[in-house]
Amino acid sequence: MHALADLVLPTADAEIWRYSRIADLDVTAFEIQPGSREVTGDESFITFDAEADETIATPDIFAEYNAGHQRTVDIAVPANTAVSEPIVIEHRADSGSAVFPRTVIRLGAHASCTVIERFRSADDAASLVVPVLAVDAGPGSSVTYLAVNDLNESSWQIGHQLIAAGRDSSVRLSTITLGGHYTRVRTEATSKETGSEIEQVALYFAGGDQMHDFRVIQNHVAEHTSSDLLFKGAVQDRARSVYTGMIAIEEAAKGTSANQTNRNLTLSEGAWAESVPNLDIRNNDVRCSHASTVGPIDEEHRYYLESRGVPPEVAERLVVLGFFDEVLNRLPDGDIVDEVRERVARKLSIGVAS
C-alpha cells in the first residue's frame, strides 16, 4: 500500500486528462480513511472487504490506489438466481478523508440483480472519493446499476467503471451527478461475447464552480453485440463539463449496433461545456451513430411558455426539467427520480437567484 504523499498525479498534457482539473488536486490535504458504509438488501449474496482481486484492471494511478486501500462490497449472484429487491450501498466520506470504495458485481448464467450506490459527504468540508465498479455479467444475465453522487461542492470524486458483458447478457448503467467540486467518471464497457447489450444513461448538472468530467469507451469485441449511450448535462454560473466518448469496434465485431448521444445546456454566459464523440470502427458490417450538442435553451420553447403567462424563471425551470426527462424515464428507481427532479429544480432556483 502507498501513502497519498507518494501519489504521482497525471497531468492535463495526457489526452485522457485533457480539459480536466487534475492540476488543482492537492492530495496532501487528505488522509486515507475507511469512511462509513451502509448496505441494505439481501446480504446472503455479499462478501465484505475481501482481498483485492488482481484480475480487475487498474487503468491509472487512482484505480491502482483503490486496489491498495479499497473497502470492497463483492456481490456474487449464482446462476439462475434473481435478487428480488435492490441492493443499496451508501458511502459517507468524512472531512479531510480519502476513501476508496470498491463494488464488484458478478452474475452467474441467467442471474439478475439491481444495485444502487450513493456517495455522500458527512459534512461541508472537502473529501477525496476514489471508487471502482467492476461488473462481470455471465451468459444470459441481467444487471442494473445506478450511481448517485451526492457529495458536497468542496469534494473530489475520481471513479472508474469496468464492465464485461458475457453472451446474451444485459447491462444497464445509470449515473446521476449533482455533487462534487470535481467529479470524474471513466467507464470502459466491453461487449466481450456475442449477443450482449450495454445501455448507459447519465444526468449531470453543475453550478457554481463545479466541474463534471465523463470519459466513456463503448468497446465491442464480439460479433452481434449492441450498446446505447445517452448522456444529458447542464451547466450554470461558472461551472464546466466535459464528455469524451469513444465507440471502438474490433475487426471481429461484425453485426454490431452502437450509438452515443450527448446533449448539453449552457444556462449562463460564464458556463462552459465540451462534447467530444469519437468512432474507431474496424469492421464494415456495423451500424453506428453519434450525436452531440452544446448550447443554450431553445428560445422557441421558452417563448412558447412565456407567451402563455409563465414567468421567465419558471419557464427555464420547466424547459430544463423537460430536457432531463428522457434520462429520468430510464432510471430504475422511482423514488430517486422524484428526488432528482426536486434537486434539479432547487439548483435552478439557486442559479437564478445568484
pLDDT in tens, 281-302: 999 999 999 999 999 988 787 7
145 belongs to a structural domain: yes
> What is the number of domains present in the chain?
1
Q: What is the pLDDT of residues 325-348, one digit of tens each?
A: 999 999 987 789 999 999 999 988
pLDDT at 221: 97
351 belongs to a structural domain: no
User: Exposed/middle/buried for 308, CB within 10 Å: 0-12, 13-18, 19+?
Assistant: exposed
CA angle centred on 175, ends 300 and 317, rounded to 5°: 30
55 belongs to a structural domain: yes
pLDDT at 285: 95
**Stretches in the chain below the pLDDT threshold 50:** 352-354
316 belongs to a structural domain: no
314 belongs to a structural domain: no
**Domain carrying residue 178:** 4-296
pLDDT at 2: 67
Q: The whole model's pTM is what?
A: 0.95
133 belongs to a structural domain: yes
C-alpha cell at 182: 470535481
107 belongs to a structural domain: yes
324 belongs to a structural domain: no
